[in-house]
């Protein structure tokens, strides 16, 4: 292999490595989102178990709460994007969140498949580059 080919292979190796790292980071972020959605489903279940007119603490921001009284334990307002908020019951709210979790799982799997493909390319390039240095 001439020096130009070697240089191109190292460059390709670095590009693949960068893409792999980006996918890995994206999967970490997706896993965090999935965990947040899972916690939200648990919170919805807890709210559904609370009796109407129960006193609760409502968060305004991290660490700041106001006391409130629960009027309807089965009504949730969900932001569906672009400033649109829809009213849903508990099961509908959980279904929307579960659909988000399923979409996240699909993205994670897609990324894992790409990462496996990058692993194969890494090994091929590594063999080629090691073979040249022998």
* Residue 72, domain CATH: 1.10.287.370
Domain membership flag for residue 20: yes
Predicted confidence (pLDDT) at residue 77 exceeds the cutoff of 70 = yes
> How many folded domains does the chain comprise?
1
Secondary structure class of 134 (helix, strand, coil): coil
For residue range 8-63, what is the model confidence (pLDDT) as tens digits?
988 998 999 999 999 999 999 999 999 999 999 999 998 888 877 888 888 899 99
Range of the structural domain that residue 75 is part of: 3-125
> In 1-134, which ranges are E strands?
55-61, 64-69, 76-81, 84-88
Taking residues 61-84, what's their average pLDDT? 88
pTM: 0.80
Domain membership flag for residue 7: yes
Domain membership flag for residue 38: yes
Domain membership flag for residue 131: no
10 Cα distance to chain centroid: 31
Q: Where does the pLDDT of residue 3 fall: very low under 50, low under 70, confident under 90, or very high at 90 and above?
A: confident
CB 42 within 8 A of CB 52: no
Predicted confidence (pLDDT) at residue 72 exceeds the cutoff of 80 = no
pLDDT above 70 coverage of the chain, percent? 96
């Amino acid at each position: 292999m001439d020096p130009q080919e070697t240089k191109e292979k190292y460059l390709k190796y670095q590009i693949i490595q960068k893409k792999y790292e980006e996918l890995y980071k994206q999967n970490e972020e997706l896993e965090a989102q999935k965990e947040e959605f899972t916690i939200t489903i648990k919170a919805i279940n807890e709210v559904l178990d609370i009796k109407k007119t129960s006193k609760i603490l409502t968060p305004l921001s991290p660490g700041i709460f106001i006391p409130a009284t629960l009027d309807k334990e089965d009504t949730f307002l969900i932001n569906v994007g672009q400033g649109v908020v829809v009213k849903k019951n508990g099961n509908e709210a959980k279904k929307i969140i579960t659909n988000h979790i399923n979409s996240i799982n699909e993205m994670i799997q897609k990324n894992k498949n790409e990462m496996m493909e990058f692993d194969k390319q890494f090994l091929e390039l590594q063999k080629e580059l090691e073979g040249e240095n022998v």
